[in-house]
Amino acid sequence: MSIKQISVFIENKPGVLYAMTGVLAQGGVDMRSFTLAETSDFGIARIIVDDVYKASTTLKDAGYVHSISDVLGVAVPDEPGGLSKVLQALTDAQVNVEYMYVFQGHKNTGSAYTIFKVADNAAAAAALSQRGIKVIDQAEIEKL
């Protein structure tokens, strides 16, 4: 139970983000989420998209180095303590979170979506499901 995240290598200088989003727009890729990790000279853009294959081929054709990794998508109730509950479940299961980010679905579902990068997706998903926390899959991402 995981979703696909595309990580793109980009340089840290003016115009490169614009150029990359332009490429995705040209390719007709709809982004669900976009986040950026950076150092002083390069960065990794991590994106969740409606169509992984289309996004990947579009980026490849434009010469971008990128990789696809499996991450965990979790629907978090959009209310105080929502995220905390999720993290408690992961902590109890001794799952280390490498990084995470939150995005809001554009349909009003009453949930925020959290993407977790963890070592073992299956173990983390099981720990969350046990507590009644909804883990989403790629099909759901496409529908969002």
Partner 1 sequence: MERYYQPEIECASREQIKAWQDERLVKQVRHVWDNVPYYRKKMEEKGLTPDDIQSSDDLHKLPFVTKADLREAYPYGLVAKPLKECVRIQSTSGTTGKRVVAFYTQHDIDLWEDCCARAIMAAGGTDEDVCQVSYGYGLFTGGPGLNGGSHKVGCLTIPTSSGNTERQIMFIKDLSATILCCTPSYAAYIGETMKEMGLTPDQIPLKAGIFGAEAWSEEMRQDIQNTLGIKAYDIYGLTELSGPGVSFECSAQTGMHINEDHFIAEIIDPDTGEVLPEGSKGELVFTSITKEAFPLLRYRTRDICMLTREKCSCGRTHVKMCKPMGRSDDMLIIRGVNVFPSQIETVLLNHGYPANYQIIVDRVKNTDTLDVQVEMTPEMFTDNMGEIAKRQKELVDGLRSMLGLAAKVTLVAPKSIVRSEGKAVRVIDKRKI
Residues of this chain that bind partner 1 (CB under 8 A): 5, 7, 9-11, 16, 37, 39, 41-42, 44, 46, 63-67, 69, 98, 117
Which is nearer to partner 1, 39 or 94 (by Cβ)?
39
**What is the β-pairing status of strands 42-49 and 111-118?**
unpaired
Q: How far is the CB of 137 from partner 1 (least distance, A)?
A: 20
Q: How many helices (H) and strands (E) does the chain have?
A: 5, 7
Q: How far is the CB of 69 from partner 1 (least distance, A)?
A: 5
Q: How far is the CB of 106 from partner 1 (least distance, A)?
A: 25
- Structural contact between residues 59 and 51, judged by C-beta atoms closer than 8 angstroms: no
Which is nearer to partner 1, 42 or 53 (by Cβ)?
42
Give the rounded distance of the alpha carbon of 76 from its chain centre: 14
Please report, as a single letter, which amino acid is at residue 84.
Answer: S
Q: How far is the CB of 129 from partner 1 (least distance, A)?
A: 25
Which is nearer to partner 1, 32 or 46 (by Cβ)?
46
Residues across the chain:
144
Kindly report the backbone phi and psi dihedral angles of residue 40, in degrees, each rounded to the nearest multiple of 5, phi listed first: -70, -25
Q: How far is the CB of 43 from partner 1 (least distance, A)?
A: 9
Which is nearer to partner 1, 14 or 63 (by Cβ)?
63
Helices (H), the chain: 16-26, 52-61, 82-92, 121-130, 138-143
Contacts (Cβ under 8 Å, ≥6 apart) of 121 = 1, 2, 70, 71, 72
Which is nearer to partner 1, 11 or 120 (by Cβ)?
11
